[in-house]
Chain A
């Protein structure tokens, strides 16, 4: 019998808004799929297209980037820059044949825990619909956090 497909979601999220929302989701005991692995950044303005591609290269089935609501970035426009980079990375994913829909940008305010839970559910559902990342199945999963870690300063 084939192994059950459990999607792996890598989420690059900012400290000030989305991470706080995710933290609050825990305090509120909100239930959402356990498939997400969070990479906390000071600001989504730190997100580089290379991080996103490497996440897929390391086996992520879908990748999400989530920053503050538009206009609420603590660094004024970090989330807007991230948005541009995510859009560019989507074109690269189409080019590669992975598909742009495997990557999505969200804007989730610090107090919006339910929105975080909903976003993770959306992406988990999407990962199940899209099936496994054709790259990921060829690489051992335990190395993922390690490899993503190598990319961090």
Chain B
């Protein structure tokens, strides 16, 4: 899932200072699971804003709305009746959701309430770890299910590098070398042959382009020449 963390409170207070009525829009999917921007966090932020506004004697009011997913138009439609009553929308969704909300309501300032951090997993209560960089060319089949792109700070496809010491990474002695982990996993599986071939240079060409993909079943609908 996509992991995010709430922006620092002072930054948020500064971002809403010009608006009297603010609608805090939570998102009920990834950011709800990582306790950054779900219904509960939206309510908590509204309470915090409310207290801060009263202490500073600012005439502001805050309301909360939470949609199932801010990255789907159908769910954003639920906000149609509410949005006109507010001066600004503060979205607690990931970067994708915030942009989709801004696209949906072009006449309202849309503010970001969270910093989207990574695609990761829930390791324990309140603890997340990055696992994927969405590099569009998955090598996990060959690397024993451990991603060198995400877990090696250099993103090496032919590791480990010379900086590895006792199985630890040179960037951080606390961090396990991803390539040592890959070697050990493949050895355990009896599949060391997987890493004997030298991987060719990564196709960085597409990395800077905004992604867009069409499901094969919908080719006719979205591709003019299909």
Contact = CB atoms under 8 A, between A and B. Distances in A.
Interface string A24-57: 0000000000000000000000001110011011
A77 B51 CA distance: 30
B51 A56 contact: yes
Interface stretch (B41-49, B87-95, B194-202): B41-49
A98 B51 contact: yes
A91 B172 CA distance: 29
B40 to A, nearest CB: 7
B52 interface: yes
A16 to B, nearest CB: 24
A135 interface: yes
Given A50-B40, A95-B9, A134 B47 contact: no
Query: Interface extent on A, as a size class?
Result: 10 to 19
A152 interface: no
Nearest to B40: A50
B52 A96 contact: yes
Contacts of A96: 9, 48, 51-52, 55
Contacts of B50: 57
Contacts, number: 37
A134 B50 CA distance: 12
A25 B80 CA distance: 54
Main secondary structure of the interface of A (DSSP, over half): helix
B54 interface: yes
Contacts of B44: 49-50, 53, 92
A134 B52 contact: no
A97 interface: yes
A124 to B, nearest CB: 22
Nearest to B56: A97
A53 B52 contact: no
B72 to A, nearest CB: 27
A138 interface: yes
B55 A98 contact: yes
Contacts of B43: 50
A97 B10 CA distance: 11
Main secondary structure of the interface of B (DSSP, over half): helix
A97 B47 contact: no
Contact of A135 (B9, B10, B40, B54): B54
Interface string B44-73: 100110111011000000000000000000
Contact of B47 (A54, A95, A138): A54
Interface in B162-216: none
Interface string B108-133: 00000000000000000000000000
B66 to A, nearest CB: 14
Contacts of A54: 47
Contacts of A134: 54-55
Nearest to A89: B44
B40 A97 contact: no
Contacts of B52: 96-97
Contact of B48 (A48, A53, A138): A53
Interface in A76-99: 92, 95-98
Given A50-B44, A56-B51, 12 more contacts: A48-B40, A50-B43, A50-B47, A54-B47, A57-B47, A95-B9, A95-B48, A96-B9, A96-B48, A134-B55, A135-B51, A135-B54
Interface of B: 9-10, 40, 43-44, 47-48, 50-52, 54-55
Interface of A: 48-50, 53-54, 56-57, 92, 95-98, 134-135, 138
10 contacts: A48-B40, A53-B48, A57-B47, A92-B44, A96-B51, A96-B52, A97-B52, A97-B55, A134-B55, A138-B54
